[in-house]
Amino acid sequence: MLAVADRSLVLVSGIPGAGKSRLLRGLRTTGPEPAVLDSDLVRERMEARLPAGTAYRWYRPLVHLCYRFQVLLAMFGLVGPLVVHLPATGVFTRAAMLTVAVLALRRPYLIWLDVDPTEARRGQFSRGRVLGERCFKRHARRGTEFVRRLREGYRPPGWSGVLVLDRRQAGRGLVLAGNAHQRPDDTTLI
């Protein structure tokens, strides 16, 4: 369970194939109902409008662009909690999300799914959307290094809370609890 402020950003991250979408499908709340943004929904809508059999690699950049625009609109336009699915293996992506959250007056929380790259790769094949080898290796290298630092006690500055879940923990689901009294510098690491 992660206690979040009513006006918050919960960034669900991890290497591609880690199970972020599956975790979000099982999301439960005990506080205000959050808006949940997952790029899979943007991809599915776009896929439905394209000719059958169009390879995802041809429209992936457009999916990413539309999704990031949707995230920006939601950050500033919605009132309650916002849950965003994004690999965020790169420090720039995490910093950009943190900056936008602060500008939108949202308390930022980071949930990181710590999954072995081999297992994550299998997850990609099982869902039928596989990144190129070089791209995946870059995500895996950055993600593995980041989670190693987290497990060694690193606390990324600016985040109100950080929660690391392995696949077993993530399989039990995620519960977000409203807690307007949580201090912005509280950090939880599991």
52-79 pLDDT, tens digit per residue, is 989 888 998 999 999 999 999 999 999 9
Q: What's the domain count of the chain?
A: 1
Give a yes or no: residue 110 inside a domain.
yes
Question: In which element (H, E) is residue 56 found?
Answer: helix 56-77
Give a yes or no: residue 94 inside a domain.
yes
Average pLDDT over residues 22-38: 88
Structural domain including 31 reads: 2-178
pTM beyond 0.85, yes or no = yes
- Domain with 81 in it: what CATH number? 3.40.50.300
Residue 185: pLDDT band with limits 50, 70, 90: very low
Amino acid letter, residue 153: G
Residue 1 has pLDDT above 90, yes or no: no
Residue 186 has pLDDT above 70, yes or no: no
Average pLDDT over residues 21-42: 88
Quote the pLDDT of residue 170. Answer: 83
Quote the pLDDT of residue 160. Answer: 93
Residue 187: pLDDT band with limits 50, 70, 90: very low
Residue 157 CA to residue 161 CA, distance in Å, equals 10
C-alpha distances (whole Å) from 141 to each of 16, 145, 164 are 12, 6, 17
The alpha carbon of residue 184 and the mean position of all alpha carbons in its chain are separated, in whole angstroms, by 20
Give a yes or no: residue 189 inside a domain.
no
